[in-house]
Amino acid sequence: MTYKVFIDGEEGTTGLQIRDRLESRAEISLIRLSGDRRKDPEARREALNASDVSILCLPDDASREAASMTESNSTCLIDASTAHRVASDWTYGFPEMDAGHRAKIAEAKRISNPGCYPTGAIGLIRPLVSGGLLPADYPIAVNAVSGYSGGGKSLIARMEDPKHEKAVNSAFFAYALGLEHKHVAEMQMHGGLDRRPIFAPSVGRFRQGMIVSVPLHLSLLSGGATVERIREALGDWYSGCRFVSVASPEEAEARVALLDPEELNDTNALRLFVFGNQKRDHVVLAAQLDNLGKGASGAAVQNMNIVLGLDEAAGLK
């Protein structure tokens, strides 16, 4: 059987990555709009309603517009923007988030693709909150560094073109220091947190890849938490998952001196680490992923596969 898929916003960074993962698959027939038809509301409306799955790779307002244009009950929308990530009538597209969540995605007609930073943060935090090791009111701080492709075409141009009028020449920069980053609500809600986390994102001079880290004081945790108990809790939560893994103590030890944000590039993998010093009462949780993979296009394709009843890993690695 062939399934019709429309990527609304195909020419953007995420859209291009999704297209690359789909266009060689025999069971997928891409609905393509060329030239000015990509911005023609009626052409888009027709494509949205003719598809089995439409993936929205658009700014927030444009995604809301596309959702309002989709009237077919047989079309599933997967929204890669932030527009619907905390909406009660959309299903959050993180299949590994809870036991049974994959089944919810399979039945959904409106799926909000997780953000890249929240994928790492929620992947680390939610199992510990649900398991009673991390209090829901813990004063969480999330630190992260991403490749510059996460900023879309505008930031890519500023990082890669030294003649750009707003060229960025730094090797590294922090941003969103007004503490109003749009991913925070998503982290709090789907992380199961009562208290709004502090989020400190940054960008490095590499195109893609990401590390998200959460430092904790062991003595402020619950249930007699230790480094090993935290690692075991994460390992149990993600046991059997194809794309989420928890590093062994030996794997973590091998990366104590250097955790490479680019190590999982071009994959849909999310690897979680527990770095701890029991003597100092400290632990740092870390998530390693490709911000364009499990953090964007890979996750969208994974969700599409689940919705269509296909092999979850089809077109992914």
Question: 286, 273 in Cβ contact below 8 A?
Answer: yes
Is 2's pLDDT higher than 90? yes
| pLDDT at 210 (0 to 100) | 98
- Residue-wise pLDDT for 53-111, tens only, equals 999 999 999 999 999 999 999 999 999 999 999 999 999 999 999 999 999 999 999 99
Is 151's pLDDT higher than 90? no
Say what the pTM is. 0.93
Q: d(Cα 143, Cα 307) in Å, to the nearest integer?
A: 32
Indicate the average pLDDT of the chain: 95
Which is catalytic among the residues 57, 76, 116, 241? 116
Q: List Cα–Cα distances, 231 to 101, 123, 154, 273, in angstroms.
A: 22, 13, 39, 8
Is 154's pLDDT higher than 90? no
- Residue-wise pLDDT for 195-246, tens only, equals 999 999 999 999 999 999 999 999 999 878 999 999 999 999 999 999 999 9
Question: Does residue 116 carry a catalytic annotation?
Answer: yes
- Residue-wise pLDDT for 155-183, tens only, equals 988 988 888 989 898 999 999 999 999 99
Closest CA to 231 of 210, 242, 216: 216
Tokens encoding 120: 């790492």
- Residue-wise pLDDT for 28-45, tens only, equals 999 999 888 888 999 999
